[in-house]
Amino acid sequence: MSENLYHEITPEGFGIAIEKDKDLYTKQSPFQKVDVFSSRAFGNVLTLDGLMMVTERDEFFYHEMITHIPMLTHKDPKNILVIGGGDGGTVRELLKHDSVVHIDMVEIDGEVIEASKKYFPTVSSELDNPKVSVLVMDAIEFIKDKTDLYDVVLIDSTDPIGPGEGLFNEGFYNNVKKASKKGGIVVPQTEGPFAQSENMQKTYRLLRKVFKNVAPYCSVMPTYPGGYWSWGFCSDEVDIPLDYRTIDEKRALKIEKTCKIYNRKLHSAVFCVPNFVYELANG
Ligand code: SAM
């Protein structure tokens, strides 16, 4: 086994290892350590404070799932807010939807954006799209004075540590809801059901205090701890999409053709979660 290994051991005491080819970039930003290395197995890899964030090979698992479930459940999503997401993958997926008029992406760390533009061109490909405003600031501050603006809000954040901690908080979720339009949908990434069950349970307790309809959906995410990830579908007015036949077939098929994971039948299937996940989200 090559001794040149990247490994992430999460606070839960287990993680992943990837054979490294070369270290490509390292920079201590005011918020976190930004590292990029190349690898035989996953292409270029971005880590923040040593924790796995994005790989060229498997980023689509995450970016398709966080984006297309809310976007195709909403009847006509025009104005979108992405919180975090500095690598640009979520913005790239959002722009597949013809209904999108404008996206605000609020990323605290400009270094992440620069590193992604340089080393992840297929992920950051749409960050200069005229429909996108990239705001480099703390989303906790940004959201405070926003009201009734967004059809869909995606919280594409780091874990609830460091700059990301304040994004897993009742006050923040209330501000996100205030910034959403009537009929709006909010989807935060809600951690790994197996690897970070405590974080996940705490997050859903907060989400359920703020939103009427809250449900986890899950998918494989190879390089995240436990290889299994969750996102939280939250809305006051829109029901959890448990029947894919309620999803507009024409819109869904157009997106499906461009995806490696998302398809219309999967749209409702992802909400069929194992008992332990259901208990974490409702306990
Ligand atoms: N989208 C990637 C993926 O494939 O899962 C990983 C998530 S993205 C890199 C997480 C981003 O959230 C980071 O770039 C981090 O700088 C940003 N972030 C953390 N706290 C933030 C805050 N308070 N405001 C805005 N952005 C924040």
pLDDT tens-place string over residues 7-18: 998 877 888 999
In ligand 1, which atom is closest to the CA atom of 139? 24
In ligand 1, which atom is closest to the CA atom of 32? 16
Q: Where does residue 85 fall: left (phi above 0), alpha (psi -120 to 50 degrees), or beta otherwise?
A: left
CA distance 118 to 34: 13
- What percent of the chain shows pLDDT beyond 90? 92
pLDDT at 3 over 80: no
Domain boundaries of the chain, sorted by first residue: 5-55, 59-282
| Residue 89 CB–ligand 1 contact under 6 Å | yes
What fold characterizes domain 5-55?
Spermidine Synthase; Chain: A, domain 2 (2.30.140)
In ligand 1, which atom is closest to the CA atom of 163? 20
CA distance 187 to 132: 19
pLDDT given at position 160: 85
Q: Which of 82, 119, 158 to mutate to test the pocket of ligand 1 (most atoms within 8 A of CB)?
A: 158
5-55 with 59-282: one CATH topology?
no
Catalytic residues: 156
How many CB atoms lie under 10 A from the CB of residue 283?
A: 11
Q: Which of 108, 111, 119, 123 to mutate to test the pocket of ligand 1 (most atoms within 8 A of CB)?
A: 108
Question: Tens of pLDDT along 106-163?
Answer: 999 999 999 999 999 999 999 999 999 999 999 999 999 999 999 999 999 988 888 8
Instruction: Give 2's pLDDT tier (boundaries 50, 70, 90).
Output: low
Question: Tens of pLDDT along 229-274?
Answer: 999 999 999 999 999 999 999 999 999 999 999 999 999 999 999 9
State the burial class of residue 78 (Cβ atoms within 10 Å of its Cβ: 0-12, 13-18, 19+).
middle
pLDDT given at position 101: 98
pLDDT given at position 176: 98
pLDDT given at position 15: 85
pLDDT given at position 1: 55
Instruction: Give 210's pLDDT tier (boundaries 50, 70, 90).
Output: very high
CATH number of this structure's domain 59-282: 3.40.50.150
Mean pLDDT of 155-179: 93
**Non-local CB neighbours of 208 within 8 Å, separated by 6+ positions:** 214, 282
pLDDT given at position 80: 99
Instruction: Tell me, in angstroms, the distance from the centre of ligand 1 to residue 94's CA.
Output: 16
CA distance 120 to 132: 18
Question: Tens of pLDDT along 16-50?
Answer: 999 999 999 999 999 999 999 999 999 999 999 99
What's the mean per-residue pLDDT of the chain?
A: 96
Q: CA 265 → CA 76, 152, 188, 272, distances in Å?
A: 20, 21, 22, 12
pLDDT given at position 162: 84
Decide: pTM greater than 0.85.
yes
Name the DSSP class of 3: S
Buried b (16+ CB within 10 A) or exposed e, 234-264: bbeebebbeebeebeeebbeebbeebebbbb
Instruction: Tell me, in angstroms, the distance from the centre of ligand 1 to residue 126's CA.
Output: 17
pLDDT given at position 12: 78
Instruction: Tell me, in angstroms, the distance from the centre of ligand 1 to residue 164's CA.
Output: 7
pLDDT given at position 11: 78
Q: Where does residue 255 fall: left (phi above 0), alpha (psi -120 to 50 degrees), or beta otherwise?
A: alpha
Amino acid sitting at position 239: D
| Residue 106 CB–ligand 1 contact under 6 Å | yes
User: Greater confidence, 187 or 166?
Assistant: 187
